[in-house]
């Protein structure tokens, strides 16, 4: 078994779908105007972006986020620079210990529709 699908509710379907297309390589495969966009990446992960029932931003629990892993710290740094250049104001890159003495570079960025995204290397990434 593998996790292969995620649905995100948002107040701005078009902008959130465009964010995932531009910065994370997703491509649209289906949709219904500004109500729903089905996106896929090269690993065939399906990301559905849909308008919430009230049309307002989703009320996700505190600390809810989705994450994207990059193999190298330099890739995390490059994505941070790209998001900064696009005016998205990502948080600073920090290093987190995720067990076993591994230092993992990561940062967060608010995507359109108030969806929190984390960009990092996988747990067990860089050694101290």
Q: Are residues 47 and 21 in the same domain?
A: yes
Q: Kind and range of the H or E element at 127?
A: strand 126-127
Q: Would you tell me how many other CB atoms lie within 10 Å of the CB of residue 41? A: 15
Q: What is the CATH number of the domain that holds 112?
A: 3.10.180.10
Query: What integer best gives the mean pLDDT of the chain?
Result: 89
**Host domain of residue 6:** 1-53
Q: Are residues 9 and 49 in the same domain?
A: yes
Give the range with max mean pLDDT: 48-57, 69-78, 117-126: 69-78
For residues 52 and 74, what is the distance between their CA atoms, to the nearest angstrom?
36
**What is the pLDDT at residue 128?**
41
pLDDT tens, residue by residue, 74-128: 999 999 999 999 999 999 999 987 666 678 899 999 999 889 999 999 876 544 4
Instruction: Categorize the per-residue pLDDT at 55 as very low, low, confident or very high, splitting at 50, 70 and 90.
Output: low
Length of the chain, in residues:
128
For residues 63 and 29, what is the distance between their CA atoms, to the nearest angstrom?
29
Please identify which residue in the block is written with the tokens 């940062």.
Answer: 107
Q: Are residues 93 and 113 in the same domain?
A: yes
Q: Are residues 35 and 95 in the same domain?
A: no
Q: Are residues 16 and 69 in the same domain?
A: no
Q: Are residues 73 and 39 in the same domain?
A: no
């Amino acid at each position: 078994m593998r996790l292969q699908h995620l649905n995100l509710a948002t107040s701005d379907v078009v902008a959130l779908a465009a964010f995932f297309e531009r910065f994370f390589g997703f491509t649209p495969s289906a949709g219904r105007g500004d109500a729903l966009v089905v996106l896929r990446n090269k690993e065939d992960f399906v990301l559905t972006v849909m308008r919430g029932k009230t049309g307002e931003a989703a009320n996700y629990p505190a600390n809810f986020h989705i994450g994207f892993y990059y193999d190298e710290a330099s890739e995390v740094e490059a994505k941070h620079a790209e998001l900064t250049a696009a005016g998205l104001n990502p948080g600073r890159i920090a290093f987190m210990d995720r067990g076993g003495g591994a230092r993992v570079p990561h940062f967060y960025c608010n995507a359109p529709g108030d969806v929190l995204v984390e960009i990092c290397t996988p747990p067990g990434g860089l050694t101290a």
